[in-house]
Every structure is written in C-alpha cells, then in structure tokens.
C-alpha cells in the first residue's frame, strides 16, 4: 500500500474507513465486526497528526472515542514500520 503524505491539519470530509488508506484491512474488518461504520469526529481530527508523530492536545466529552482516537493511529503507525 502506497502511503500518501498528508498535512497534519488534513481531515477527510467523512469518517469512512475508506477515506483513511493508512488503516490496515484487518483493522477495518475488526472495527466493522464491532459495529463501527466510521471514525468519530475526535478520531478523524486526531488521526493524521498522531500518525505523523505530531503532538496534540485533544479534548472531548466522555464516551466520544478519545482513547481510540490516539490509540488507532499509533497502532497503524507501528504496523507500517514492520
């Protein structure tokens, strides 16, 4: 899979998994099995800055998906390093 260099401020217009080519097919499959159809807004805004190893401060309500918002890009970054 060819990586596309995106600016950290880039946020796709939708949170659909297909808009994030950096997400591994296994990740997408597992998330869909769990009932997720797209990334939540906090996850959309955090993905590229964290994936590109930028520092961020993210704040949102409880239950908004913050933990996955920072864990998902870290896991995908580490997966591409293999």
Task: Convert the pLDDT of each residue in 30-77 to its tens digit.
Answer: 999 999 999 999 999 999 999 999 999 999 999 999 999 999 999 999
Beta bridge partners of 38: 16
Cβ–Cβ under 8 Å, residues 70 and 46: yes
Task: Convert the pLDDT of each residue in 2-18 to its tens digit.
Answer: 556 666 566 777 899 99
For residues 73 and 6, what is the distance between their CA atoms, to the nearest angstrom? 14
Give the distance, in angstroms, between the CA of residue 31 and the centroid of all CA atoms in the same chain: 12
This prediction has a pTM of 0.81
For residue 1, what pLDDT is reported?
47
Average pLDDT value for residue range 26-32? 96
For residue 53, CA distances in Å to 32, 38, 72 come to: 26, 22, 13
């Amino acid at each position: 899979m060819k990586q596309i260099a995106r600016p950290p401020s880039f946020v796709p217009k939708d949170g659909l998994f297909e808009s994030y080519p950096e997400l591994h097919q296994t990740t997408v499959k597992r998330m869909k099995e769990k009932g997720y159809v797209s990334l939540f807004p906090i996850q959309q805004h955090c993905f590229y800055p964290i994936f590109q190893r930028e520092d961020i401060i993210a704040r949102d309500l409880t239950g908004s998906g913050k933990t996955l918002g920072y864990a998902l890009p870290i896991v995908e970054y580490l997966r591409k390093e293999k």
